[in-house]
Amino acid sequence: MAIKNKDGSIFRLNKPNPAMNQQDLWDDGSQYILHNFTQEEFILHNFDKQEKEYQPIDEIEVEEIKVQIKETVIPKKDSPKNIITLYCMPAITNNANDPLYNEKKVSIVYGPQYTFEAIITISSDLVWQIWSVKDSPKNSIIFHPETKRWWKVENSFKEDNGYYMGCKPSTIQPSFRVEP
| The 3-state secondary structure of 63-82, one letter per residue | CCCCCCCCCCCCCCCCCCCC
* Lowest-confidence pick of 42-51, 76-85, 147-156: 42-51
For the residues 73-79, what does the mean pLDDT come to?
A: 57
Among candidate residues 155, 148, 152, 180, the one with its CA nearest the CA of residue 168: 152
Distance between CA atoms of residues 157 and 165, nearest Å: 7
18 vs 163: which has the higher pLDDT: 163
3-state secondary structure of 104: strand
15 vs 170: which has the higher pLDDT: 170
Distance between CA atoms of residues 144 and 151, nearest Å: 8
Q: Looking at residue 2, what is its pLDDT?
A: 76
The overall average pLDDT reported for the chain is 79
Confidence of residue 151 (pLDDT cuts 50, 70, 90): very high
Name the DSSP letter for residue 176. Answer: -
- Residues 39-74 have pLDDT tens digits of 655 555 555 555 556 666 677 777 788 877 777 665
102 vs 40: which has the higher pLDDT: 102
Domains and CATH numbers, the chain: 85-169 (2.40.10.270)
Q: Looking at residue 32, what is its pLDDT?
A: 62
Distance between CA atoms of residues 30 and 32, nearest Å: 6
Q: Looking at residue 25, what is its pLDDT?
A: 60
| Cβ-Cβ contacts under 8 Å for 162 (sequence gap 6 or more) | 131, 132, 133
Confidence of residue 80 (pLDDT cuts 50, 70, 90): low
Confidence of residue 168 (pLDDT cuts 50, 70, 90): very high
Q: Looking at residue 160, what is its pLDDT?
A: 75
94 vs 30: which has the higher pLDDT: 94
100 vs 33: which has the higher pLDDT: 100
What does pTM read for this prediction? 0.52
